[in-house]
Structure formats: C-alpha cells, structure tokens
Amino acid sequence: MANFLQSIRSRVERIDPMTLSYLGLLGIPSYFFGSLSPLRWFMFFWLLALWPLVKALLPTSNDDSAVEFDTDWRWRGRFLVSNLLVMVNPFVLVQSMAQMVGYVVVLVRYLGRPPAPGRFDQQTDLTLPFSGTWTVVNGGVKKEDSHSWSIIAQRYAYDFVVTDGNGRTHDGDGTVAEEYFCYGEPMLAPADGRVVKTKDGYRDSPYFRGMLDPLQRDIRGNFVTIQHAENEYSVLAHLQEESITVEEGERVERGQQVGRCGHSGNSTEPHLHFQLQDRPSFYVSAGLPITFSGVGIADDKSGETERGNRRSIRGGLRVTAVDSS
C-alpha cells in the first residue's frame, strides 16, 4: 500500500500546472452550444496559466547555475508586472492561443507520444549556432532542465548567453543592451540548409533586469528558421533589429552568419533562443531533442574542456564550439 501511495504521489508531483491549463480549451464550446454549458467549469483551468508568474515569485536555490541572476524582489516584481502587461497584449495573446491549439495538434499527430530522447533519430549534425564559449541558461532533454516543457514546440529549446568568470552576463548595471557580452555577437547557421522564414524590424527591448517588453509584436522577436532535413527545422530567435543577413529561400552553409544576438521579443535580457522543430510553423510543431557535434563542455574546476560529438547539453553548462572533425 505504501508503495502504491508513493507511486501516486510521484505522478502528481510530475504534473505541470501549465499543461493542465490546456484543459480550459474544453470550456470554449460551451459558449456556442447551450447543451454544453456544464463544460464552462473547465474555463477555471485557464488560471493555471498564471503558474510561471507564481513560480517566479517563489524562492529558488540553484547553486549549480553558471549564471549569476538578480533574484531580489525588485527583479521579481518587474517580471510579474511586465508579464501581466504582456498577457493583455493582443499580439501575444493570439500567439499564446495558437501555441495552445498547436499543443493539441501535435499530440493528435503523434498519438500522444511526441518526439523524445530514445524515440527520435536526429538526421542533421548540428553545431552550436555561435563561436566562442557561451553559457546555457536553461534547456535540455529532460523535464527538469526544460526551457518550457508545457509548450510543446519549445520543450527542448535552449537559451544561451555569454558570461564572465563570475557568472555575470554584463558590465555596468545592465540597463543598456551594449553592456551585455552576447549582444551583437554573430549568430551562425548550425548546419547546411534552406531559409524558410525570417522576420526583422522588431525593436530590441528597451527594458532589462527581469522586465519584458509589453509592446512586443512577436514573442520570437526577430528570427530565422532554417530547414536542414525533412522534418528538421532550426529556429534562432530574439535577434538584433536589422541584423538578419539572409532571405527566405536562400541556401546557407554551416557556420554562415544569419544575424546577430539581440534582445527583441519576449526577452528579459539579450540572449539567443535556439530550438529544433519538426515543422516550419512555430505554433504547430513538436520540439525535437537536440544533440550537438563539435561541442566542448568546460569544467570550471579543472579548467579543462571536454570535447565530443552528438551530445546533449543542459542548463548551467559552459559550452564552446570546437572542430567537429
């Protein structure tokens, strides 16, 4: 009996409140068909979509992180207020709804078993989409490392920044984009492919230190989507305004510059968002677990770099693009 109860508790603890918020979709038909009015109770599940805001206010303990975060209450307060403002932004609201619908579409397409490590065979040898050494802020192939587990297209996405020896991402007080070490750095095609979608012209956010841009027009900001193989598309997002150097339909080679690291879209500070997905659409795609070739992982204690091919990475690691040959 004790083992049974422990099993139930373990399953409950793995439930993601954001995933449960999708049950709110069941309440929508009740507003069109009177006979389905009892389904309106499902609308209360939408409140669980506020979980990221609640989570941001909870105390955290992340001793293994390689990035120094400003976690005081002023940071948390700015993040909370700006998130509330973003949530009523009509452009972001439409995109959020599209992501929710996309979640259902992907689950139906894969019969409830979307791609995951062990049942996805990556065709493309992907290298890191930058040169030099960067820090993985978050992301990985496990739920506990995930960038956004409940958003199925971003399930295996990564956020990258550049840090100094103290884990800081910027000089000064971090209120100017140019103070951030990664801002303006070249973003590179991770493999040969064809550009299928680009967007430029969105401003780099004037806000920093935990605050999102409430006037953003696209959560990706400026971005580039590249097809590398059948059902394998990479996305580089939050790029610097007017920095994209490729056009839709253009062929690109591994290592070719496609833009610069920026601070556009749903971003609290300059960084690169990178993901691999199975469709060109950002909304109805399944995120794909990524392995990188030509990647070095720094051991800050020994000062050595471990090199390898076709390996996964996770948040907290410092990674370097090295020769994959």
From 268, 299, 303, 58, select the one nearest 169 (Cα to Cα): 268
The answer as to whether 234 is a domain residue is yes
Kindly indicate the confidence band of residue 196, based on its pLDDT and cuts at 50, 70 and 90: very high
Considering only residues 324 and 107, tell me which one the structure prediction assigns the higher pLDDT.
Answer: 107
3-state secondary structure of 5: helix
- pLDDT of the residue at 14: 55
pLDDT digits (tens, 9 = 90+) for 95-132: 988 998 899 899 999 999 999 999 999 999 999 999 99
- Indicate yes or no: pTM above 0.75: yes
Max intra-chain CA distance, the chain = 67
Average pLDDT, rounded, for the chain: 85
- pLDDT of the residue at 107: 92
Considering only residues 32 and 276, tell me which one the structure prediction assigns the higher pLDDT.
Answer: 276
Residues 226/279, Cβ–Cβ less than 8 Å: no
Q: What is the mean pLDDT of residues 310-325?
A: 86
Kindly indicate the confidence band of residue 21, based on its pLDDT and cuts at 50, 70 and 90: low
pLDDT digits (tens, 9 = 90+) for 297-317: 876 555 556 676 889 999 999
- pLDDT of the residue at 81: 79
Residues 84/52, Cβ–Cβ less than 8 Å: no
Structurally, the chain folds into a number of domains equal to 1
The answer as to whether 3 is a domain residue is no
- pLDDT of the residue at 7: 56
Question: Domain range spanning residue 157?
Answer: 100-321
Listed in sequence order, the residues at least 6 apart from 166 whose beta carbon sits closer than 8 Å to its beta carbon are 68
Highest mean pLDDT: which range of 20-29, 169-178, 294-303: 169-178
Instruction: For residue 118, give the CATH number of its domain.
Output: 2.70.70.10
Minimum mean pLDDT range among 66-75, 111-120, 274-283, 314-323: 66-75
| HSE-up (13 A, CA, CB side) for residue 80 | 14
Considering only residues 57 and 209, tell me which one the structure prediction assigns the higher pLDDT.
Answer: 209
Q: What is the mean pLDDT of residues 232-249?
A: 98
- pLDDT of the residue at 122: 96
DSSP string, 107-149: HHHTTT----TTS----S-B--SSSSEEEEEE--SSGGG-S-T
Kindly indicate the confidence band of residue 138, based on its pLDDT and cuts at 50, 70 and 90: very high
- pLDDT of the residue at 165: 87
The answer as to whether 216 is a domain residue is yes
- pLDDT of the residue at 309: 81
Considering only residues 210 and 255, tell me which one the structure prediction assigns the higher pLDDT.
Answer: 255
Minimum mean pLDDT range among 36-40, 71-75, 146-150, 242-246: 71-75
Kindly indicate the confidence band of residue 39, based on its pLDDT and cuts at 50, 70 and 90: confident
The answer as to whether 61 is a domain residue is no
Kindly indicate the confidence band of residue 10, based on its pLDDT and cuts at 50, 70 and 90: low
- pLDDT of the residue at 209: 84
- pLDDT of the residue at 63: 44
Pairing of strands 193-199, 222-229: antiparallel
Minimum mean pLDDT range among 160-169, 210-219, 254-263, 295-304: 295-304
The answer as to whether 67 is a domain residue is no
From 121, 116, 189, 118, select the one nearest 155 (Cα to Cα): 116
Q: What is the mean pLDDT of residues 249-265?
A: 98
Q: What is the mean pLDDT of residues 12-41?
A: 69
